[in-house]
Amino acid sequence: MQRIGAFVCWCGSNIAGTVDIDAVTKSAADEPGVVYSAEYQYMCSEGGQLAIRRAVEEHGLTGIAVCACSPRMHETTFRKTAAAAGLNPYMVEIANIREHCSWIHKNRESATEKATILMRAAIAKLNLNKPLFPGESGVVKRALVIGGGIAGIQTALDIADAGYEVDIVEKSPTIGGRMAQLDKTFPTLDCSACILTPKMVDAAQHDNISLYTYSEVDEVSGYVGSFSVKIRQKARSVNRELCNGCGDCITKCPVKKANSEFDEGLSKRSAIYVPFAQAVPNIPVVDRENCTRFKTGKCGLCEKICGTKAIDFEQQDEIIEREYGVIIVATGFKPLSPERYGEYLYGQSPDVLTSLEFERMMNAAGPTGGVLKRLSNNEKPKSIVFIQCVGSRADAKKGKTYCSKICCMYTAKHAMLVKEKYPDIDVHVFYIDVRTPGKNFDEFYRRAAEQYDVNYIKGMVGKLADEDGRLRVIASDLLDGKQITIDADLVVLATAVEASPDVRALGTMLTASMDQNNFFTEAHPKLRPVESPTAGIFLSGVCQGPKDIPETVAQAGAAAVKALGILSKNKLIGNPCIAESNELLCNGCSCCENVCPYGAIEYTEKEINDHGNRNNRRVAQVNEAICQGCGACTVACPSGSMDLKGFTNRQIMAEVDAICRT
């Protein structure tokens, strides 16, 4: 039996003005378990708290019921008071007789009656309270960043600079990601490589950062503070320690016909290659699909030429197992392929490019050396048409439902770059809306239209027709309400930003939830935008949704800070109001597991001693470090073996009973 103290707060006249404090205090004394009841002007004040502490001591109280303002206001205060009095902080219940009573009712009689009932409910619940102890778990002081684009690099640098070790796992042979492919960046038109390359080098040279390029995450287990990850480092066929990056192998390689991924297939590379000149690490990879040695067993020229004997055709994938305290997802995006939209002739005419392909073409290190030309006849185009919203803002069946956010800006950038270099080329941009929120963004777009004379046409392109080697663009000018045709030499499609569908497998591994577009879901859309609902998993960059570079970098930093919040702790202290499974009752049916948004429930085969009957059973176990205490599992559990500490079935029923006991 509890020894409960009930404390009724006046809150000056806030409560006492409408509620008969005396009546509530008196009737509290008659409630079961109550051994002491008192009132005070301001319960939350020093004096009020002291009164509680004294009462605990004098009356040997085991629990405290405070009738005062909302628990959202002072629950923490009174928990601390209880702790100071030597009680478990969870032996406190609050009856909200201010926000939910005195402030909304005018009639003194009914407000007093309601306050009494709320007090009774709090006491009924408190009678069933048990001391709760938050779980503690250790923290591995190491972070894993999945994805080595600008988001991943920035997050890794921020964490590393704060003094913690970080591993970056990157799927491709180099870090750098999409940003490395860009020519210039908006709205400043500075060179992308010039600002990115130093960061790549920083990351590579940082004492606290280890790079795992050409690697993928194979398996993730564990939870916040101690994730256990298996990283597959794919066979490069080049010994990383021995290679000095001289590039002789690349020059010697007889295969020159492989498509360059970096140039979006617009140029060719050898079978042994580094994706681009500034690649980090500067260690070649053998593309085993195109390598003659792997196809026929003959060749091996690279092996012969290599002065450091770094070529190793026998190299195998290597599995690295590591523990991490936190994981940051920075998997980025890929541009949507416009092939499904037949009207744009993409893939049919070499003069229809995606924006990223165009970006490569404009780049001085790109496939054409920065010379703009029609790939059909190598001539300089006279007229270029840009089409926006390709695949974005569409019905789910026809593309992506969201706005890809960056296309308006990069299209303006492209138009400007063309005009800058070739003022004689006609540039037309078809748009639905031009969306340019962002610092200096609208100014940038206006510059394109006003200073550079880019012809912005509101309306969509119906189709392209190949007319004697030129591309006839048939479209509608909505402002004129007229049909127009433009003969273009080059058409550039601003394709939607798309999360790569293979990220879903990673999401499953991490038990991090994802939306229908394969973007990772944030823990709260407004208040926790860089955290995944799964504790210890953070989101950096476009993997969470379309973003431009400054936003990506900002979010990368934010994710790093959130991650550091965990890494800097020696112990993680959990919320003790979490689910708990009664193993004696558990059926092992997986109902709870199916609804847990955090993947906090695991099943184990375990010997259970049920009143002397010992047998092996499949039972649910809640991982205290992961559970957030929502209670979804408790209702899914038919047997009632899953219960929520601090909000148990019995406690809630006791509150219901008390409220209905009129």
Q: State how far the Cα of 446 lies from the Cα of 64, in Å rounded to an integer.
A: 65
Decide if residue 634 touches other proteins (CB under 8 A): yes
Beta-sheet strand order (sheet of 482-488):
461-467, 470-477, 482-488
Per-residue binding string, other proteins, 595-624, x by CB under 8 A, is x-x-----x-------xxx-xxxx------
Nearest distance from residue 623's CB to other proteins, in Å? 15
- ω before 550 within 30° of 0 (cis)? no
Instruction: Return the number of the residue (51 or 637) whose C-beta is nearest other proteins.
Output: 637
Q: Which is nearer to other proteins, 246 or 630 (CB)?
A: 630
**428 near other proteins, judged by CB under 8 A:** no
Separation CA 502–CA 513 (nearest Å): 14
Specify the stretch interacting with other proteins by CB under 8 A; choose among 199-207, 279-287, 327-335, 459-467: 459-467
Binding-site member from 30, 46, 207, 289 for other proteins (CB under 8 A): 30
Binding segment for other proteins (CB under 8 A), chosen from 170-178, 277-285, 297-305, 472-480, is: 472-480
Residue 16 in the binding site for other proteins (CB under 8 A): no
Number of residues that bind other proteins (CB under 8 A): 94
- Taking the least distance from each CB to other proteins, the nearer of 241 and 395 is 395
Task: List binders of other proteins among 390-409 (CB under 8 A).
Answer: 393-395, 397-399
The single residue listed with the structure tokens 């298996």 is: 230
Give the CB-side neighbour count of residue 291, counting CA atoms within 13 A. Answer: 23
Least separation in angstroms between residue 125's CB and other proteins is 9
For Cα atoms 542, 544, 547, give the angle at the middle one, nearest 5 degrees. 35
As a whole number of angstroms, the distance between CA 72 and CA 538 comes to: 27
Q: How far apart are CA 8 and CA 31, in angstroms?
A: 14
- Which 3 state secondary structure label does DSSP give 272? strand
Residues 525-584 that bind other proteins (CB under 8 A): 525, 533, 577, 584
- Distance, CA of 217 to CA of 616 (rounded, Å): 34
Choose the stretch contacting other proteins; rule: CB under 8 A; options: 95-103, 246-254, 264-272, 353-361.
Answer: 95-103
Among 389, 535, 566, 622, binds other proteins (CB under 8 A): 389
* Cα–Cα distance measured from residue 638 to residue 244, given in angstroms and rounded to the nearest whole number: 63
For residue 529, the SS3 value is coil
CB 559 within 8 A of CB 547: no
Segment interacting with other proteins, rule: CB under 8 A, options 43-51, 252-260, 362-370, 470-478: 470-478
Q: Site residues for other proteins, window 98-157 (CB under 8 A)?
A: 98-101, 103-107, 110-111, 113-114, 117-118, 121
Q: Amino acid identity of 441?
A: F
Q: Which of 92/153 has CB closer to other proteins? A: 92
| Cα angle: 468, vertex 471, 476; to 5 degrees | 130
Within 33-52, the residues that bind other proteins by CB under 8 A are none
Integer-rounded Cα radius of gyration of the chain: 32
The answer to whether 243 and 225 have CB atoms below 8 angstroms apart is: no
Task: Check residue 589 for interaction with other proteins (CB under 8 A).
Answer: yes
Which range, of 92-100, 232-240, 296-304, 413-421, touches other proteins by CB under 8 A?
92-100
The amino acid that residue 361 corresponds to is M
Question: Considering the complex, what minimum distance in angstroms separates the CB of residue 184 from other proteins?
Answer: 28
Q: Which residue, 316 or 616, is less far from other proteins as judged by CB?
A: 616
The least CB distance from residue 63 to other proteins, in Å, is: 17
Chain residues 314-353 in contact with other proteins, contact rule CB under 8 A: 343
HSE of 453, CA atoms in CB hemisphere, 13 A: 7
CB closer to other proteins, 32 vs 501: 32
Q: Among 472, 561, 588, 606, indicate the residue that binds other proteins (CB under 8 A).
A: 588
Q: Does 54 bind other proteins (CB under 8 A)?
A: no
Q: Of 556, 537, 529, which Cα lies nearest the Cα of 153?
A: 556
Q: Under a CB-based contact definition with an 8 Å cutoff, are residues 268 and 274 in contact?
A: no
The smaller minimum CB distance to other proteins, of residues 277 and 656, is found at 656
What is d(CA 66, CA 5) in angstroms, rounded to the nearest whole number? Answer: 8
- Least distance to other proteins from the beta carbon of 626, Å? 12
Are 69 and 10 within 8 A, CB to CB? no
**Stretch near other proteins under the rule CB under 8 A, chosen from 208-216, 328-336, 374-382, 590-598:** 590-598
Measured from the CB atom, the residue of 478 and 505 that comes closer to other proteins is 478
Closer CB to other proteins, residue 303 or residue 522?
522
CA distances from 286 to 242, 266, 280 (A): 15, 20, 16
CA distance 491 to 488: 7
